[in-house]
Amino acid sequence: MSVVTEVANIITAPAVTVTETVFRIQETSVPLFSEVVSSKADNGFTFTHGLLLGQLSVVIILFTFIRFFIFANGHDAPHQPEPLPPNLKKKQSSIIRPAPPVPARSILGRTFYNVETHPAESLDWLNVLVAQTISQFREDARMNNNILHSVDKILNSDKLPSFVDTVHVTELDIGEEFPIFSNCKIHPCADDPGRLEARIDVDLADSITLGIDTRLLLNYPAPLMAILPVSLSVSIVRFSGQLTISFKTIPPTNTSDRKTSLTFSFAPDYRLEFAIKSLVGSRSRLHNLPKLAQLVESRIRKWFVERCVQPRFQEITMPSMWPRRKNTRESFSAGGRY
């Protein structure tokens, strides 16, 4: 206030020359400017600092705009979905409209399928797809003797009885014909009316053959007391039956979510025909022993019944059908061919 007072006194003072007035104002303004500079210095922040800070913020804003809006890279890694926040998890049940399970009767009504009057389907299209799949499987099996190595490994596994010597595969034929599916109809499941099942007639007339050579070892009362050579050839020449396929929901557990499985089984009135040839002995050989053929046939039927014949069934867990990025593929067409 003293400086301002002095300036006011100079202006209101008695008339003096202009030169003296200017000189007095300059003398008075010097301490005023010194006070302002000293106050800025005491605060530690000057006009130069503010100017540099403003320029730096402008440069940062320009760099961010150019980097992310002009030169954005289109080949960056795909964005990974972030986990839902807690508040959204609580509201998820209200965001996604809950829908009760659709009963079998409702599915049949919406698809206009009458179980009583709908005719059986021939499934010619399915026969073609299955034939292509089996044909590709046979090509892969024959390549580099893959099927031969697999069968030899199974026959000579650790589960082989001690009285059976090493097994040698002498003949292997995986067939040339294909199964024929027909007379498909949809029915409610007998044990669960809420599910649907497809009943399909299957018929296969082919010759699937496996021939082996081995030796039966008699180790009592002494090791290798006797050795009996055996040659055996087993062929499946006909199979027919009714195949039942259905989808089943696996309830969730503490460690897994709810999943869907494909179940299939065969009706008890199936038909399975064999052609079995045998040769036993080294010098006096016995051909096609009926008891041996019955033993082999009964063992194969028992294995099949214990696994695939109703009320037993096979269950295959289905993968998730929701589209995923890792499962996406792109086909390149050239002249209409993929």
Look up tokens 């150019």; give the residue.
Answer: 66
Please check whether residue 212 is in contact with residue 170, taking contact to mean a CB–CB distance below 8 angstroms: yes
Same domain membership, residue 161 and residue 49: no
Q: Clarify whether residues 150 and 271 are in a common domain.
A: yes
User: Cα–Cα distance between 315 and 265 in angstroms, integer?
Assistant: 9
- Domain assignment present for residue 65? The answer is yes
Burial class of 274 by CB neighbour count within 10 A (0 to 12, 13 to 18, 19+): middle
Q: 226 and 129, same structural domain? A: yes
Task: Report whether 211 contacts 170 (CB < 8 A).
Answer: yes
Domain span holding position 181: 122-320
CA–CA gap between residue 338 and residue 328 (Å, rounded):
16
Per residue in 39-79, pLDDT (tens digit) is 444 555 576 777 777 778 777 877 776 665 555 444 444 44
Give the C-alpha separation, 234 to 100, whole Å.
52
Asked whether residue 207 is assigned to any structural domain, the reply reads yes
Residue scoring higher pLDDT (220 or 87): 220
Of the listed ranges 35-39, 129-133, 172-176, 294-298, the least confidently predicted one is 35-39
Answer yes or no: is pLDDT of 108 > 70. Answer: yes
pLDDT value for 329: 74
Instruction: Give domain status of residue 301, yes or no.
Output: yes
User: Is residue 275 a part of any domain in this protein?
Assistant: yes
Where does residue 285 rank: exposed (0-12), middle (13-18), buried (19+ CB within 10 A)? exposed
Out of 82-96, 161-175, 300-314, which region has the weakest mean confidence (pLDDT)?
82-96
Lowest-pLDDT range, 33-47, 131-145, 179-193, 209-223?
33-47
In sequence order, the 6+-apart residues with CB closer than 8 A to the CB of 331 are 338
Same domain? 59 vs 200: no
For residues 171 and 235, the answer to whether their CB atoms sit within 8 Å is no
Which residues touch 141 (CB under 8 Å, ≥6 apart)? 147, 174
Q: Which residues of 230-249 are buried (b: 16+ CB within 10 A; e: fewer)?
A: bbbbbbbeebbbbbbebebe
What letter would DSSP give residue 10?
Answer: H
Is the CB of residue 169 less than 8 Å from the CB of residue 155?
A: yes
Smallest CA-to-CA distance from 297 within 272, 325, 321 is with: 272
The predicted structure's pLDDT at residue 127: 94
In a domain, residue 75? The reply is no
Query: 144 phi and psi, to 5 degrees?
Result: 55, 25
DSSP character for 324?
A: -
pLDDT of residue 18: 41
Assess if residue 108 is contained within a domain: no
* 131 is a domain residue: yes
How much of the chain, in percent, has pLDDT values that exceed 90?
Answer: 33
26 and 127 belong to one structural domain? no
Task: Indicate whether 49 and 142 sit together in one domain.
Answer: no
Query: Mean pLDDT highest for which of 77-86, 91-100, 177-186, 313-322?
Result: 177-186
Same domain? 155 vs 251: yes
Global pTM reads 0.62
Q: Which two tokens stand for residue 211?
A: 């021939």
Whether residues 231 and 131 share a domain: the answer is: yes
Check whether residue 156 and residue 305 sit in a common domain: yes
Residue 196: closest CA among 101, 126, 281: 101
Examine the pLDDT at 166 and tell me if it is beyond 60: yes
Whether residue 133 is found in the same domain as residue 55: no
Q: Are residues 66 and 167 in the same domain?
A: no
Specify the number of domains making up the chain. 2
pLDDT band at 32 (very low <50, low <70, confident <90, very high): very low
In this structure, the answer to whether residues 263 and 133 fall within a common structural domain is yes
Tokens 């082996």, residue located: 212
pLDDT-based confidence at residue 37 (cuts at 50, 70, 90): very low
Which range among 80-89, 116-125, 150-159, 228-237 has the greatest average pLDDT?
228-237
Establish if 311 belongs to a structural domain.
yes
The pLDDT confidence band at residue 171, using thresholds 50, 70 and 90, is very high
Of the pLDDT bands very low, low, confident and very high (cuts 50, 70, 90), residue 10 is very low
Question: Residues near 203 by Cβ (< 8 Å), separated by ≥ 6?
Answer: 179, 180, 182, 239, 240
* pLDDT recorded at residue 234: 94
